[in-house]
Amino acid sequence: MLVAPVLLLLLVPFPPSSGAQLPNQGQAKDLPIATNGQPFPWDRMRLPKTISPLHYDLTIHPNLTTLDFTGVARIELDVHEDTSIIILHAKQMQISNVLLLAPEGIRPLHVLEYPHFHQLALLSDSVLTKGRKYEVQLEFAANLSDSYHGFYKSSYRTSSGEVRVMASTQFEATFARAAFPCFDEPAFKANFTIRIIREPRHIAISNMPKVKTVELPGGLLEDHFDTTIKMSTYLVAYIVSDFLSVSKTTQHGVKISVYAVPEKINQTAYALDAAVKLLDFYDNYYDIPYQLPKHDLAAIPDFQAGAMENWGLSTYRETGLLFDPDRSSASDKLGITKVIAHELAHQWFGNLVTMEWWNDLWLKEGFAKFMEYISLDISYPELHVDDFFLGKCFDAMEVDSLSSSHPVSTPVENPMQIQEMFDDVSYDKGACILNMLRDFLTPEAFEIGIIQYLKRYSYQNTVSSHLWESLTNVSDVSVGTVVILCLSFVPLINRSALDVRAIMDTWTLQEGFPLVTVEVRGREVRLSQERYLKTDDPSLTEGFLWQIPLTYMTSTSNTIQRFLLKTKTDILYLPEEVDWVKFNVDMSGYYMVHYAGEGWNSIIRLLQHNHTALSGNDRANLIHNVFQLVSIGKVRLDTALELSLYLSRETEIMAVTQGFGELVPLYKLMEKRDMAALENQMKGYIVDLFRGLIDRQEWTDSGSVSERVLRSYLLLFACVRNYAPCVTKATQLFNKWKDSDGTLSLPVDITMAVFVIGARTPEGWDFLFEKYRHSMQMSVKSRMKTAMTVTSLQDKKWLFPLASYGEVMKTQDLPGVVVSVSKNPHGYKLAWDFLRANWHTLIKKFDLGSSTISHMVTQVTNQYSTREMLDEVRSFFGSLTEETGSEMRCIQQTYETIEDNIRWMDTNLPLLQAWLNKRSHKVAHEDL
């Protein structure tokens, strides 16, 4: 039954009033109960719309010695309907001296608290009348949070061993309410004027530039920041620290500064230049100037996520921002550039135009992820970011092929559900369907459409259909000749009938993605679509239908042909008979393709004889599709393995890594079972397949970014797999490095391989550990940490990081280490035991529903393939309560993944064994 929200006036001294707060004494018994035992007059998690904030005056005083803070919030209100109740958010803070500043004078307000929904009710003894201006003032006090959200404590150790404390904010998604009382929903946009009280030894920064500093009695200083433009609460930020900064100005006159702890300020130059370049790029691309006079980027020593886009003050993990030209790797450079591009893209997508509610989180996260690639492609062509986009679509498909997936736009209400939206579906699927639409509409039309969208909805909130309308308008009439011309390359699309919303609703409102089956018979190409789902319950695939922008090319024409498949089945006619067809050209579409009949065989022949007839992306796409089709029984494992044979001639990064991505998990499953013989045969096959490519790798830092990333990947794999030439070389280099007491500068891209080999001996491990403790280079530290988790030493060496987190290793790095240990054949049980034993501490620290927790849950368990392990996993997660996470989606994902692994092993192990035996026979014969 749909119950109307109850905004009741129940307290005798306060008279009833009209509008949204209709008294309904009859329902009083169902009302929530406030902390003081009185009924709480609002029973919804979402705030009522009777009142909205216009302006916040915030004064915040953190005490970095006592680790708490006090503050005063004065909020100007806009009353939309007469009411005498104000409902707003506050979480875990003491509230006092609450006043109403009305045109008639100042009056105290009665306060009720309902912690379960993080809500306060402020009750007035007179009606606040629609259209009149009111203010409320609240004083508050709380501890600095010990987690990574709200107004939280961070600390770091200097090279002389001194521990320094600072305080920083992370409000997205629902944590502004833990720092000050506020209307903590993205649609309640307001202006903020912030003042921070601090000691003279610290500095304070916030969203806006500082306008003045006032000396307070007692020697404290109060920094006053300029008033922000209209924005959501989750974007407010302030930091009190002893950071230093470096600055530059963009071509458009925006002052960019990068802040870091003093001893790391010499690692900020790269980020500063990147931010200047990328902000200028967005200014031009969006055709809307960046809205603030400055943008600061701050590297925070304790940070849970990767980065956060607070307006005018984005915050980052140190590894996400700090770059040392001599010690950071090619993938570090790529990662830092991408993360900055992402957070700066949000300054428009998210900050200027914000989703109405978290159900449409993808409107900012999908876009920011997508813009990482668009902006780097143009501003940093040398990084060849295009080589990596595909990986996002593969990642998205992995979760989206489970029945526990969810539509891109999904209803959510409570903070845990909101946190869960920050997943591969919102980010990666979001980016991939945008990429598909861009490819379909043409880049030019797409760009015009998104600029229209940003301009039309600046300072407002949107839902997905606003975006589709803006893009439909472009594809209608109001576009320049360029777009019309480009669209005229789309022969099978009737432009006037192009309904972007109808197409895109099929991708955002239903979960999963289609599998398109293609069967060529002469000139006829039969097409059909169904949902790709990794489950044995066929009923779950019924009722799904997508509008699929198909693309294809054939053996006789590499011109991209297009066809919008709207129905379950359809037929295409080719101008002539062909040897092969390749659909989903360059994988610009978010769907899989099954080549039925002789289709896969013709593709295997093509790859074996002339693989460069297809692009690297197409090859990666085929590898992905063929192995994924094995999982659902559409293709036999032998066929996929036959296709994989061509990889011995592959050199393109995405195809190589996708080859690894499909083959390595097979032996990872076996490592967690007792089947060493087959496991070793499989390992041998993969090493053989890539031996030529590994042998060709130089042990230097030369080459393009993709070549360098590929090199470090291959050498790491080769060393881990004990490939003798690699181990010998890495051992030599490690010993040299160790003999120089770590001063020898190794080529950066090979250090991971070298450290992994070094960490195999107790002395090497200890040496790495000592260097890890004292290093100030974040990327070097991160490689050492990973290498230490990969060791096979049995004497608890790699237990140590788990046991000592918070001391030697920062707690923020713990989840990554747990996952890494779980991939180690000698460590996976330990990681699983650790996760179970520390569950309550972990969810308290990292929060229920966070991607940190989900990632740990799915990654620690996704290589199990036995019923015993499934039972064990079920028994642990089954024992959780709602408060301790039983409702989390990642638990369902985990069950489904293990079930899928069990099915895969049951079906395919004999086939794999037979194929590998046959192959080794063949190879042995060829050798004779």
Only one of the segments 11-19, 207-215, 365-373, 526-534 lies at the binding site for Zn ion (rule: CB under 5 A); that segment is 365-373
Helices 653-671 and 889-927, axial angle in degrees (round to 10): 100
Only one of the segments 15-23, 337-345, 475-483, 871-879 lies at the binding site for ligand BES (rule: CB under 6 A); that segment is 337-345
Q: Nearer to ligand BES by C-beta: 374 or 520?
A: 374
Q: Nearer to ligand BES by C-beta: 315 or 791?
A: 315
The type of residue at 431 is: A
What tokens does 360 get? 């449409």
Residue 327 contact, options Zn ion, ligand BES, none, Cβ 5-8 Å cut-off depending on partner type: none
Catalytic residue among 113, 309, 343, 530: 343
- 321-325, Cβ contacts within 8 angstroms, sequence gap of 24 or more: 321/258, 321/260, 321/268, 321/271, 321/297, 322/260, 322/264, 322/267, 322/268, 322/271, 322/778, 322/779, 323/267, 323/268, 323/269, 323/270, 323/271, 323/779, 324/267, 324/777, 324/779, 324/780, 325/270
Sheet holding 110-114, edge to edge: 83-89, 119-128, 110-114
Only one of the segments 21-29, 336-344, 569-577, 580-588 lies at the binding site for ligand BES (rule: CB under 6 A); that segment is 336-344
Least distance from ligand BES to the Cβ atom of residue 339, Å: 4
Residue 352 contact, options ligand BES, Zn ion, none, Cβ 5-8 Å cut-off depending on partner type: none
Residue 173 contact, options Zn ion, ligand BES, none, Cβ 5-8 Å cut-off depending on partner type: ligand BES
Q: Nearer to Zn ion by C-beta: 336 or 368?
A: 368
Nearest to 839 by CA among 786, 789, 882, 884: 884
Least distance from Zn ion to the Cβ atom of residue 365, Å: 5
Sign of CA dihedral 896, 884, 142, 100: positive
Q: Residue 312: which region, alpha, beta or left (left: phi > 0; alpha: psi -120 to 50)?
A: left
What tokens does 491 get? 């022969």
Least distance from ligand BES to the Cβ atom of residue 846, Å: 11
Do the beta carbons of residue 7 and residue 83 sit within 8 Å?
Answer: yes
Sheet holding 294-300, edge to edge: 244-249, 255-260, 294-300, 313-317, 307-308
Q: Is 900 in the site for ligand BES (CB under 6 A)?
A: no
Nearest to 118 by CA among 453, 540, 376, 418: 418
Q: Number of C-alpha atoms within 13 angstroms, CB side, residue 830?
A: 23
Name residues contacting ligand BES, limited to 379-438 (CB under 6 A). Answer: 422
Question: Cα–Cα distance between 794 and 832 in angstroms, integer?
Answer: 17
Q: Is 343 in the site for ligand BES (CB under 6 A)?
A: yes
Q: Nearer to ligand BES by C-beta: 365 or 505?
A: 365
Residue 305 contact, options ligand BES, Zn ion, none, Cβ 5-8 Å cut-off depending on partner type: ligand BES
Residue 592 contact, options Zn ion, ligand BES, none, Cβ 5-8 Å cut-off depending on partner type: none
Q: Is 770 annotated as a binding residue?
A: no
The DSSP element (H or E) to which 525 belongs, if any, is strand 524-531
Among 277, 295, 346, 668, binds ligand BES (CB under 6 A): 346
Q: Nearer to ligand BES by C-beta: 343 or 444?
A: 343
Q: Nearer to ligand BES by C-beta: 235 or 498?
A: 235
Q: Is 273 helix (H, G, I), strand (E, B) or coil?
A: helix
Q: Nearer to Zn ion by C-beta: 267 or 852?
A: 852
Question: Cα–Cα distance between 411 and 420 in angstroms, integer?
Answer: 11
Least distance from ligand BES to the Cβ atom of residue 651, Å: 28
Residue 422 contact, options Zn ion, ligand BES, none, Cβ 5-8 Å cut-off depending on partner type: ligand BES
- How far is residue 92 from each of residues 64, 144, 826, 869, measured CA to CA in Å? 19, 11, 42, 39
Residue partners of 454: CB distance under 8 A and separation at least 6: 286, 288, 348, 349, 352, 353
What tokens does 677 get? 């013989």
Only one of the segments 151-159, 212-220, 334-342, 605-613 lies at the binding site for ligand BES (rule: CB under 6 A); that segment is 334-342
Q: Is 342 annotated as a binding residue?
A: yes
Question: Cα–Cα distance between 169 and 819 in angstroms, integer?
Answer: 27
Residue 209 contact, options ligand BES, Zn ion, none, Cβ 5-8 Å cut-off depending on partner type: none
Only one of the segments 286-294, 360-368, 831-839, 873-881 lies at the binding site for Zn ion (rule: CB under 5 A); that segment is 360-368
Name residues contacting ligand BES, limited to 789-818 (CB under 6 A). Answer: none
Q: Is 172 annotated as a binding residue?
A: no
Name residues contacting ligand BES, limited to 444-503 (CB under 6 A). Answer: none
Do the beta carbons of residue 747 and residue 708 sit within 8 Å?
Answer: no
**Cα Rg, the chain, nearest whole Å:** 29
What tokens does 218 get? 């007692």
What tokens does 664 get? 């390595």
Look up residue 427 and give its DSSP letter: I
Among 47, 305, 416, 694, binds ligand BES (CB under 6 A): 305
Residue 308 contact, options Zn ion, ligand BES, none, Cβ 5-8 Å cut-off depending on partner type: ligand BES
Query: Is 636 exposed, middle or buried (CB count within 10 Å of its CB: 0-12, 13-18, 19+)?
Result: middle
Name residues contacting ligand BES, limited to 174-203 (CB under 6 A). Answer: none
Only one of the segments 364-372, 408-416, 566-574, 745-753 lies at the binding site for ligand BES (rule: CB under 6 A); that segment is 364-372
Least distance from ligand BES to the Cβ atom of residue 341, Å: 8
Least distance from Zn ion to the Cβ atom of residue 309, Å: 6
Only one of the segments 363-371, 602-610, 622-630, 884-892 lies at the binding site for Zn ion (rule: CB under 5 A); that segment is 363-371
Residue number of the CB closest to Zn ion reads 368
Q: What is the DSSP string of 278-314?
A: HHHHHHHHHTS--SSSEEEEEEESS-SSSEE--TTEE
Only one of the segments 197-205, 242-250, 306-314, 619-627 lies at the binding site for ligand BES (rule: CB under 6 A); that segment is 306-314
Q: Nearer to ligand BES by C-beta: 169 or 712?
A: 169
Question: Cα–Cα distance between 771 and 784 in angstroms, integer?
Answer: 8
Q: Nearer to ligand BES by C-beta: 352 or 626?
A: 352
Residue 360 contact, options Zn ion, ligand BES, none, Cβ 5-8 Å cut-off depending on partner type: none
Q: H/E/C letters for each residue in 172-232? A: CCCCHHHCCCECCCCCCCEEEEEEEEECCCCEEEECCCEEEEEECCCCCEEEEECCCCCEC
Q: Is 308 in the site for ligand BES (CB under 6 A)?
A: yes
Q: Nearer to ligand BES by C-beta: 461 or 639?
A: 461
Name residues contacting ligand BES, limited to 269-298 (CB under 6 A). Answer: none
Q: Is 368 in the site for Zn ion (CB under 5 A)?
A: yes
Nearest to 196 by CA among 183, 207, 188: 207
Least distance from ligand BES to the Cβ atom of residue 309, Å: 5
Binding-residue pattern over the window 600 to 619 for ligand BES, x denoting contact by CB under 6 A: --------------------
Q: Nearer to ligand BES by C-beta: 237 or 873?
A: 237
Q: Is 222 a catalytic residue?
A: no
Residue 156 contact, options Zn ion, ligand BES, none, Cβ 5-8 Å cut-off depending on partner type: none
Name residues contacting ligand BES, limited to 117-176 (CB under 6 A). Answer: 172-173
Nearest 5°: phi and psi at 254?
Answer: -95, 130
Q: Is 371 in the site for ligand BES (CB under 6 A)?
A: no
Q: Number of C-alpha atoms within 13 angstroms, CB side, residue 801?
A: 34
Please report where in the chains the tokens 């502004």 appear, as a residue: 176
Residues forming the annotated binding site for Zn(2+)? 342, 346, 365
Judged by the rule CB under 5 A, the positions of this chain that interact with Zn ion are 365, 368
Residues forming the active site: 343
Binding site, residues? 342, 346, 365
Give contact residues for ligand BES (rule: CB under 6 A): 172-173, 305-309, 338-339, 342-343, 346, 365, 368-369, 422
